[in-house]
Amino acid sequence: MRSRIVLLGVPLLFAGFVLARPALHSAGRPSAGLKRMTPRILPLQGGAVLVRDGQAVIEIASGTNEILVLACLGDPGVLHRVSLEVQDEQHNTLPALAPVADIVTLNSLGTLGRAASWEPLPAVAVEPLSDECGAGAQRREFWLHGTDGSLDDEDQYVRVQAVPSAEGALVRVYRDVSVSPDGGFRRTVAEIVRLMDEEIIPQTAQSLGRFRDVDGDGKLAVLLTPWLDRLQGGRVSVKGFVRASDFRASTERPFGNRCDMLYLNAGLSPGPALEDLLRHEYTHAVCVSARVGGNQWVPDEEDWLSEAIAHTSERSGSNLDHRLSRFLNSPERFPLVVDNYYAAGLWRNHGCRGATFLFLRWCCDQFGEQLLERLIRGRGRGVANIEAATGCRFEDLFRAWSVTLARAGEPSSGTIGRIDLYGHTKDWGLAGPRRFVWDADAGDQTYEIAGTAAAYVVLRAPRDGLKRHLRIRAMPRSGLQVTRVPLNATPQDVGIIAEWSTSPEAEYEEHVFDIVVNGDSTSAADYIAIEQHGRERPTSVCLYGDDVQATRLSDVGNLQRYQLRFPRGTFRADRPVTVKTGRRGTNGSRCSARATVVCGAGDTTRRVRPRIADVSGSTP
């Protein structure tokens, strides 16, 4: 029987949290130790606006100081258009103002309804396969999908000949015979065995469970192969993945290898990124193991939730920062709920991964770390699984998470998983979720929002002091959700303008970024980050502390001037570059701004003045 082929994992990481629990000796877990999910009391300070037939009307008055969260819970594969249309208070064609329900705690979100009760998957013993699969043999064949063709076409798979390279008590590492086992490779293999045997497998057993020994050799197989550098016909390179079909003994070759295994890139090196990768992929193996075996067919978990669970296991943040940055740059563009990333054309989409990690990390902050185990062992998948595990409706969880993101820059706001969304990492500036600004005096505005995503709009009150009615309109099938979030601190404007040019005067040509930040000249920038995203590994440089002050030129009034120089080739001239800055306002709020600049094609050996676009500011 052929099963759905699912690639799980792909590149690396995310901030991890390991629980201390009794050791487990099988993939199945008894349910007696799991308690009913009870959310922590969380003041959300927002208002849920009632939407009828895709429309709502709210009142904007003098002194309005709030963010409007516009979310669409409709089809994630569609961009939904949401329009803001302003009318004066005498307009007689408007429907009645939509009532607003105050959000006090997670237990009183709107009209909170209890979701279906949670039922764990049964603990099922698996009869190991005979040694026909070659477990422990001196030479072993593995199959993997190496082209851009159909996953259901056996001709799209390649056969990999491999030999054992090293093994420990719980893991056996195989080397693709095309790989030369030099000193660097042997050090990587030794580190994989050490990490899996001494840390990752035992620690994960205490918190989430263990892998299912499908082939009966007592050890998890790890295949190191250069094929991961040339997947999809040579267009895609990944660090590692897990294939759910390998764990199903009934799956025919080449669609599955009928063994418990991880795939890793042969070019990996020891370090924090390797540990993050192993934790991520092994968590996938544990999740898959909970859903295979026995006579009952349990469908694979949806990709968005599967990746979110795996990301929470990672520790160093070596591959979390660029995913978070990508999501925060345009949160309205990246859908949260995606059943199949590959089919949706979103495989390896960094923004989607950033969204799903932050959502699940926020859920764990509210319900505790045992939520992860409940999700792994739940009978449902996707939205149904998280509703059953938490006992809350998805739309309520999404609204509360969105409110948390909206207020992330407030002085009293907390963090999500100890992540400062307005701060920076070693190489990346986060700058909070991008906010649009809507001015009541400026007229109508339309936003495009992906399904299960949200746009954050700062409302600017009319300057004449008169009230306005704001009609919010979308198609009924968009699943429009509107939330008003009051701000405790008055927004302090900060804006940024950046120019990117190439300097031929230096000994070698440089990328030169001239950056002007407006606002309070007495409060210097905490950081300046320059980043460039693409399908391959993104690039970013972040300066902070004394390093950013060393780039500061003379100020002009309230304008702070900075100049950053990098060797030519650091960034590609044919792709946009995003420049970010952040600082703390005088009232304690976090301020940030972004500017996207394009160098433009042509002769880059002379100084050019690029286009300046997407200048955003006024982020409290």
Residue-wise pLDDT tens digits, 597-614: 876 443 333 333 332 223
From residue 215, how far is each of 46, 129, 256, 272, 329 by CA, in Å?
53, 5, 12, 30, 45
Mean pLDDT, rounded, for 36-64: 75
Helix 383-390 vs helix 394-406: angle between axes, to the nearest 10 degrees? 90
For residue 292, the cross-strand partners are: none
Comparing 303 with 41, the larger pLDDT belongs to: 303
What is the set of domains in the chain, with CATH numbers?
44-109+320-485 (no CATH), 134-298 (no CATH), 495-619 (2.60.40)
Per cent of the chain over pLDDT 70 is 76
404 close to 362: Cβ distance less than 8 angstroms = yes
pLDDT interval class at 596 (50, 70, 90): confident
Strand, helix or coil for residue 363 = helix
Mean pLDDT, rounded, for 270-295: 90
pLDDT at 154: 87
Going by C-alpha positions, the residue among 97, 38, 40 that lies closest to residue 404 is 40
For residue 83, the cross-strand partners are: 446, 473
pLDDT tens string 103-131: 544 444 433 344 556 666 655 444 444 44
Cα radius of gyration rounded to whole Å, the chain? 26
pLDDT at 616: 33
pLDDT at 518: 80
Q: Cis peptide before 411, with omega less than 30 degrees from 0?
A: no
